[in-house]
Amino acid sequence: MVKDKVAEAEWKNFDVNEHWQQMKNIMMNTAQVTYGLSKRPCRHKETWWWNEEVAEAVKEKKKKYGHWKKEKSTEAWKEYKKSKQNAKRVISLPKGKIMIRGEQQKAMWCLW
C-alpha cells in the first residue's frame, strides 16, 4: 500500500526536507488508514476533586506564601504553615468521600 502511494506521489524538484516530509506524510496516512487512529485519553483531563472550597484554600495558601517570602518573619511563616495545613485538609475531604462510596471507586483511587 505504501509502494502504491509513493508511486502516485508527485516527486518534483524538492529539497531533502520536503522529500522527507512527503514520505513521512505518506507513511503516517497509510498507517492510519490501515490500522486506524487510537489515542488514549489524557489521564488528568479534569481534577475531579477541585471545587470552590479547594480553590479558595489554595488561593489563600499562595497569598500567605507570598507574604512570608516578602516578610521573612516567623509570624508570616506560622500563618503560611497554618494555611498550608488547611489547604491539605480541604483537598483531602473530597478525596476521602470518593473512598467511602464503593469498592470499585476505591480501586480507581488506589491506581492514582
> Percent of the chain scored above 90 by pLDDT?
34
Contact present, 86 and 70 (Cβ < 8 Å): no
Question: What distance in Å separates the CA atoms of residue 2 and residue 59, rounded to the nearest whole number?
Answer: 55
Kindly tell me if the per-residue pLDDT of 11 is higher than 90. Answer: no
Rounded to an integer, the average pLDDT of 32-46 is 71
**Alpha-carbon dihedral 20, 26, 28, 32, rounded to 10 degrees:** 180
Higher confidence at residue 109 or residue 28? 28
Kindly tell me if the per-residue pLDDT of 41 is higher than 70. Answer: no
Contact present, 80 and 61 (Cβ < 8 Å): yes
The pLDDT of residue 81 is 96
Question: What distance in Å separates the CA atoms of residue 84 and residue 52, rounded to the nearest whole number?
Answer: 16
Convert the pLDDT of each residue in 53-101 to its tens digit. Answer: 999 999 999 999 999 999 999 999 999 999 999 999 998 887 776 655 5
Q: What share of the chain is helix, strand, coil (3-state, %, to 5)?
A: 75, 0, 25
Rounded to an integer, the average pLDDT of 17-23 is 85
The pLDDT of residue 104 is 47
- Extents of the domains making up the chain: 2-35, 52-111
The pLDDT of residue 97 is 67
The pLDDT of residue 24 is 87
